[in-house]
Amino acid sequence: MSIRRLAIATALLLAAAGAFAQTAPADDGFSAADAAWMSYRDAYRQMLRFEKYGKPKHFIQHHFQVVPKDKAAGMEGVRLLLQGRTMQLELPLDAAGRAVFPMSKAAYDENARLALNRKSGQYVFQPRVSIVVRADGVYEAADLRAACEQVLNYLRDSGQAPSGERKCAGVVFSYARNGVEPNVRFRGVDGQASRLRIDEGGAFSDDSTVAFRTVTYSFAEWPEKGQVITQTPPVAIGAVIR
């Protein structure tokens, strides 16, 4: 090998090593034997189930969510890494702790794991179905009712909700506590707009360890026709099922 080719090869190897170090530094907490993790194969099967789900789902989306077991744990600094024999990929978490996992045959074949830089027992992974956030912030009342029904139907079909008397009661818009104050209004067919009340709670009904400022649009309190308008995009929109 010529000196020029040797120099180029050495530079490429050094660059690759540097990129790997930036992705997964040795002291970032991912290498701990007792780190919280889940099997990628388990996540893959659930993602595939949603992908192949044949009923209407155009208003909803599927994620996996990292949830602290208690409020003291919090989400600050939590990172998620897909680790396999030949791969390491950091997956970004949104403000609600959700991540979109790639559909990777290589990760499945290698039985990769999804690991947190936190100790086991502090956090749990769970599938999460939520309503898609619109870029224009305008939601038809009928669409929100249909979206809630799509969430409930999927949860029932996938065994995540009982098939009993539970019904859709509304949707909840969640906002970060340290962000802009939520401004969510209902506009009727007469053009009159009313602002919805701001509360505090979890982004989803079974998640109370991370508090958000929330605005609940209850179906029973508002006409079936109209629009819900958000001034700023919410972190998440969850279905209210009771």
169 within 8 A of 208, measured Cβ to Cβ? no
Phi, psi of 81, rounded to the nearest 5 degrees: -130, 135
- Per-residue pLDDT of the chain (242 residues), as tens digits, is 443 443 333 333 333 333 322 333 334 555 545 678 999 999 999 999 999 999 999 999 999 999 998 887 889 999 999 999 999 999 999 999 999 899 999 999 999 999 999 988 899 999 999 999 999 999 999 999 999 999 999 999 998 887 677 899 999 999 999 989 999 999 999 999 999 999 999 999 888 788 999 999 999 999 999 999 999 999 999 999 99
Q: Collapsing DSSP states into helix, strand and coil, what is residue 76?
A: coil
Phi, psi of 16, rounded to the nearest 5 degrees: -65, -40
Are residues 145 and 107 both part of a single domain? no
Q: Residue 137 region, left (φ>0) first, then alpha (ψ -120 to 50), else beta?
A: left
Residue 61 CA to residue 63 CA, distance in Å, equals: 7
Residue 220 CA to residue 207 CA, distance in Å, equals: 23
The number of residues in the chain equals 242
Judge whether 5 lies within some domain: no
Judge whether 200 lies within some domain: yes
Give the predicted TM-score (pTM) of the model: 0.84
Residue 240 CA to residue 162 CA, distance in Å, equals: 15
Assigned token pair, 95: 């403000």
Are residues 55 and 141 both part of a single domain? no
Choosing from 75, 105, 128, the residue where a domain stops is 128
Full domain range(s) for residue 54 = 26-128
In the chain, how many domains are there?
A: 2
